[in-house]
Structures are given as structure tokens and as C-alpha cells.
Amino acid sequence: MDPTAAWLRLLEPLRTALVKDGGLDEPAAAAVFAALASWMTGALAAALVLQVLLGLFIGRWWQRQFYNPGGFGADFHSFQLHLLFGLVGLLLVAAVGFQPGPGLIPDLLLVLSILWLFQGLAAIYQLIARRGLLVGLYMLLVVFMPRTLVLVACLGLVDIWVDLRAHLGPQPPA
């Protein structure tokens, strides 16, 4: 079964409503929804991973609030992915050039990029929290949202290999 065709069937009521309401004309809607349908499988998997990680972090924060108030920061700063995630990621990045357009490899990269994003955020928090630059990070994330997220995820991938936190800054106070 072709996942793109399945997503097109699921998205058809939305496409029809947009065309009917005048939001898009028919050819533009067909092109937009064809491109959207081809990326939906990876986007859904990445959203599920994001939801699970956020739930895990919220649960850990609650647990730390009860038993060790303020201890979640130290836990988050020490978030470190295994080297295997970096190796698989580099292999997928190398292989993405052999697969034109969306498919399994770009979908797996979307999922891995969520993990790299949290790794990058943990590294940034540990490196700049003491310097009071978190407001600047939040401003960059809001104003330049997609590009900043990609840069933070790339920083997370680099941090897997280089361990920037050990080389660039002292441990922040817990």
C-alpha cells in the first residue's frame, strides 16, 4: 500500500474545503496536498516521538519537583544520546542523496532530528545558561523557527561526536 495515496485520501476533505472556500485554486491545492501527503508519514512519526519525549521530560520534572526540587535542570543538561544515534544519523544523511524526494530515509531523518534537537538544546542550555543568554536563544527560536531548529539539531548531532559541553564550558550550578 502506498502511504502517499492513503494520506491523499485522508487529506481530501481538507483540500476540498480549501478549494470550496477560495483559499486555494484547484491546481495549486492538488500540488500542495500531493507534496504534503508524501511527507506526512515521517512528520507523524516525528510528532509522536516529540510527544513521547515531552511527556517523559514533564514526568521527570514532576518527579524532581517532589523529591529533588530544582534537580531537573541537571538532568536535562546531562541528556546525552548514545554514539549509535550519531552513526545511524550520518549513514542516513549520506544515504539521503541516493533517494530523490520523500521516502523512508528522509522520514527516519525527521524522527532522528527530534532526538538531535533535544541533544542540541541540552548542550546549548548547559553552555549559555550561566551567561544569561537564554532570552536570545528563545528569540532566535521564535523569529527564525525552522532554520534555528535545524541548526540546533545539527549542533546536537555534533555534540554526540565531540561532546561540546565537556570542551567549551564548565558545569552550570545544579
Q: Is the pLDDT of residue 113 over 80?
A: yes
Tens digit of each residue's pLDDT (9 = 90 or more) over 120-151:
999 888 888 767 777 888 888 889 888 888 99
Tens digit of each residue's pLDDT (9 = 90 or more) over 20-69:
888 778 888 889 899 899 889 999 999 999 999 999 999 999 998 888 88
Tens digit of each residue's pLDDT (9 = 90 or more) over 77-111:
888 999 999 899 889 988 988 877 788 898 999 99
Residue 35 covered by a domain = no
- 118: nearest Cα among 52, 33, 71, 70: 52
Is 11 within 8 Å of 33 (Cβ atoms)? yes
- 160: nearest Cα among 121, 125, 120: 120
Structural domain total, the chain: 1
- How far is residue 96's CA from residue 121's CA, in Å, rounded to a whole number? 25
* Domain span including residue 118: 41-168
Over residues 156-165, the mean pLDDT reads 87
